[in-house]
Amino acid sequence: MKVALFATCLVDTMVPQVARATAALLERLGHEVVVPPGQSCCGQMHVNTGYRREAVPIVANHVRAFAGAEAIVAPSGSCVASIHHQQAAVARRAGEHGLADEAAALAGRTYELSQFLVDVLDVTDVGAYYPHRVTYHPTCHSLRLLRVGDRPLQLLRAVRGLDLVELPAADQCCGFGGTFAVKNAETSTAMLTDKMANVLSTHAEVCTAGDASCLMHIGGGLSRLRSGTRTVHLAEILASTEEAVSPDQSTRPAVSA
């Protein structure tokens, strides 16, 4: 299958290795990956901060960039949820019905990585090898907007060498919430503290999730505490093999450059 990769603005700019891992994984599974060069952002940050009018041209850019794509995959539950639940709505609210229809059609072909692997490609064992103790944080939008359920866990359970430990109070928000982390920094930090306490209680080396944004938040806290536990995106774990364990993965601090 020809898969168009939507890196998302955050991954593309701040943690490119997540998009690289997603591409490597899909290619290893025998699919052709294209990266439409016009892509930027889904518009979620604008919508969720109240700038829904300003989000419309961003949605238009996204629709232009991915026009004609057969299947679009993004390593982010939150961005895919925004594409599914917000893009058409903000366009329609602005009276751009043509754009809204195009966005809705595109959303129907857009998948979060774990859903794409399990539901579309029908694969849970992606042939990965990752010899680490790992705990999984189900991000809120993956859990409650996309309902990815246990798909990421199915994928992780099939990874060779991986010691999966259950995260206590896993379904509690980590406190990221986009601009919430800045506008309500103290409440956000209080939520993060509890999430980190739960992560650290598992004695996992790695906390993983399907959203680079939440991982940047959790990882930023773990790194500040010099905890030694680091955050690694699900795509990076699934992309790892015996032959190609990234040299970075075993020694990286919680926040990866």
Partner 1 sequence: MTGVFLGLPTAPRGVGHLRGDRSFPDAARDSLRDGQLRANLGHATATIRGKRAAVVGEVPDWAELREAGRAIKAATMARLDDHLVALEEQVTARGGTVHWARDANEANEIVTRLVQATGADEVVKVKSMATQEIGLNEALEAAGIAAHETDLAELIVQLGEDKPSHILVPAIHKNRAEIREIFLRTMPGVDPGLTDEPRKLAMAARAHLRERFLRARVAISGVNFAVAETGTLSVVESEGNGRMCLTLPQTLITVMGIEKVVPTFRDLEVFLQLLPRSSTGERMNPYTSLWTGVTPGDGPQEFHLVLVDNGRTAVLADDAGRSALHCIRCSACLNVCPVYERAGGHAYGSVYPGPIGAVLSPQLTGVEDNASLPYASSLCGACYDVCPVAIDIPSILVHLRGEHVEAQSRTTPEAVAFRALSTAMSNPRLWRLAQRAAGLGRFLARGRPTLPAVLPPPASKWTRTRDLPTPPKETFTQAWAREHGS
Strand-pair category, 110-112 with 71-74: parallel
Question: Which residue in 70, 97, 179, 203 binds partner 1 (CB under 8 A)?
Answer: 179
**Residue 33, CB half-sphere, CA atoms under 13 Å: how many?**
18
38 near partner 1, judged by CB under 8 A: yes
With contacts defined by CB under 8 A, how many residues of the chain interact with partner 1?
Answer: 74
Q: Would you state the structure tokens that stand for residue 151, as one six-digit string?
A: 């798909």
Question: Which residue in 92, 129, 131, 180 binds partner 1 (CB under 8 A)?
Answer: 180
144 near partner 1, judged by CB under 8 A: yes
Question: Which residue in 92, 178, 227, 246 binds partner 1 (CB under 8 A)?
Answer: 178
Task: Using alpha carbons, select from 76, 23, 24 the residue that is nearest to residue 245.
Answer: 24
Strands (E), 182-229: 206-209
Q: Which residue, 83 or 181, has its beta carbon nearer to partner 1?
A: 181
Task: Using alpha carbons, select from 93, 102, 210, 51 the residue that is nearest to residue 146.
Answer: 210
Amino acid of residue 14: M
Question: Which residue in 28, 31, 40, 92 binds partner 1 (CB under 8 A)?
Answer: 40
Q: How far is the CB of 177 from partner 1 (least distance, A)?
A: 3
Q: From CA 109, how far away is CA 226, in angstroms rounded?
A: 41
Residue 249 DSSP label: T
Q: Which whole-number Å values give the CA distances from 64 to 14, 40, 61, 82, 88, in the listed order?
A: 23, 11, 5, 17, 14
Q: How far is the CB of 239 from partner 1 (least distance, A)?
A: 13
Q: Tokens 């329609």 map to which residue?
A: 92
Q: Tell which positions 64-103 bind partner 1, by CB under 8 A.
A: 65, 86
Contact indicator for 75, 8 with CB cutoff of 8 Å: yes
Q: How far is the CB of 157 from partner 1 (least distance, A)?
A: 25
Q: How far is the CB of 128 from partner 1 (least distance, A)?
A: 20
Candidates 106-114, 141-149, 152-160, 238-246 — which segment interacts with partner 1 by CB under 8 A? 141-149
210 near partner 1, judged by CB under 8 A: no
Question: Which residue in 145, 232, 234, 237 binds partner 1 (CB under 8 A)?
Answer: 145
Q: How far is the CB of 77 from partner 1 (least distance, A)?
A: 12
Q: Which residue, 57 or 131, has its beta carbon nearer to partner 1?
A: 57
Question: Which residue in 1, 28, 61, 158 binds partner 1 (CB under 8 A)?
Answer: 61
Q: Which whole-number Å values give the CA distances from 18 to 11, 56, 61, 167, 172, in the listed order?
A: 6, 27, 22, 22, 24
Q: Tell which positions 227-256 bind partner 1, by CB under 8 A.
A: 252-256
Q: What are phi and psi of 217, to 5 degrees?
A: -70, -55
Q: How far is the CB of 161 from partner 1 (least distance, A)?
A: 25
